[in-house]
Amino acid sequence: MAKEHDLDLAKIPGTGPGGRIVEADIQQALAAPAPAQAAPAPTSKAPAPEESEFTLTVVEEIPIQGIRKVIFQNMHLSLNTQAQLTLQTEVSAKGMQDFRNRINNILDPDETKISYNAIIIKAVALALRQHPRVNSSVDGEMIKVWKQIHVGAAMDVGKGLIVPKIRNADTKSIMTIAKEMGQLVDKAKQNTLSLDELQGGTFTITNLGAWGIDHFTPIVNFPESAILGLGRIVEKPWVKNSEVVVEPRIALSLTFDHRIIDGAPGAMFLKTLTRMIEEPLLML
């Protein structure tokens, strides 16, 4: 009977003759409440470290992947491969402002208005035609000067930095460049840019003027050899013909690979570009 109910006979006191266990003892053992089992000891939890002024707390971990990984690798490659030098100057934007306003004022409401970027892309392309060494790349032990002038316009539409290209910008009108820029911006926002529209540039411009920046040191878009940074257009006092005048001015920052472009050719490119920005009619 004890075996039937899985009872341990050694733990049942016998009341029969000689201390033998009788049926009544087993019945009593079955009727007795089961002994309470000891509760498991609580596991101790390590206390959280106390924060102090020397503690660094991670609030977010962002994987380096996708477009960010491409930017990460290209920027590292550019600075580790080239000897980059930045030349900075400031030029009058009045001629460019007047030129843009005159054209936009005669356009129909449904026609694409020209932007400052479109004007500067055209000016850059024509300056590159006059200073072809700036329109080059390094390939091993060879400097390759490109016949085509494909100007990239760096932009960030919320998905990371991308640089779509205006192909053969030196052969296109400012109006055509403005229309193509509008189309590229729309495609960038919709994430529909093709690989061909993002590759094969020979020069890049990047504009931080909208964020109130004047001068900066842009990093060359490898494997190109030069990039132009544009600052904001802002009115400043300026000495002109021995008189102090207030006029709109724009800062230009040219970064180039000093291994293959010397300081003087870089400065001459900037001088040519300055002349075209200040006198846009020279581009017609």
Q: Which domain holds residue 17?
A: 1-31
**Shared-domain flag, residues 159 and 267:** yes
**Shared-domain flag, residues 107 and 242:** yes
**Shared-domain flag, residues 126 and 258:** yes
62 within a domain of the structure (yes/no)? no
**Shared-domain flag, residues 20 and 75:** no
Instruction: Note down pLDDT in tens along the chain; length 284 residues.
Output: 555 656 555 566 666 655 566 666 666 666 665 555 656 666 666 666 677 788 899 999 999 998 889 899 999 999 999 999 999 999 999 999 999 999 999 999 999 999 999 999 999 999 999 999 999 999 999 999 999 999 999 999 887 899 999 999 999 999 999 999 999 999 999 999 999 999 999 999 999 999 999 999 999 999 999 999 999 999 999 998 899 999 999 999 999 999 999 999 999 999 999 999 999 999 98
- Give the residues across from 252 on adjacent strands: 89, 230
Residue 224 φ then ψ, to 5°: -65, 175
- Among residues 189, 196, 111, the alpha carbon closest in space to that of 157 is found at 189
Distance between first and last Cα of the chain: 114
Query: How far is CA 252 from each of CA 207, 213, 222, 227, 274, rounded to the nearest angstrom?
Result: 10, 11, 20, 10, 9
Q: What is the DSSP letter of 32?
A: S
Cα(175)–Cα(14) distance, integer angstroms: 111
147 within a domain of the structure (yes/no)? yes
Q: Is 149:165 a contact under the CB 8 Å cutoff?
A: no
Q: Which residues are catalytic?
A: 258, 262
53 within a domain of the structure (yes/no)? no
Q: What is the DSSP letter of 127?
A: H
Place of tokens 């400052």: 116
Cα(70)–Cα(218) distance, integer angstroms: 17
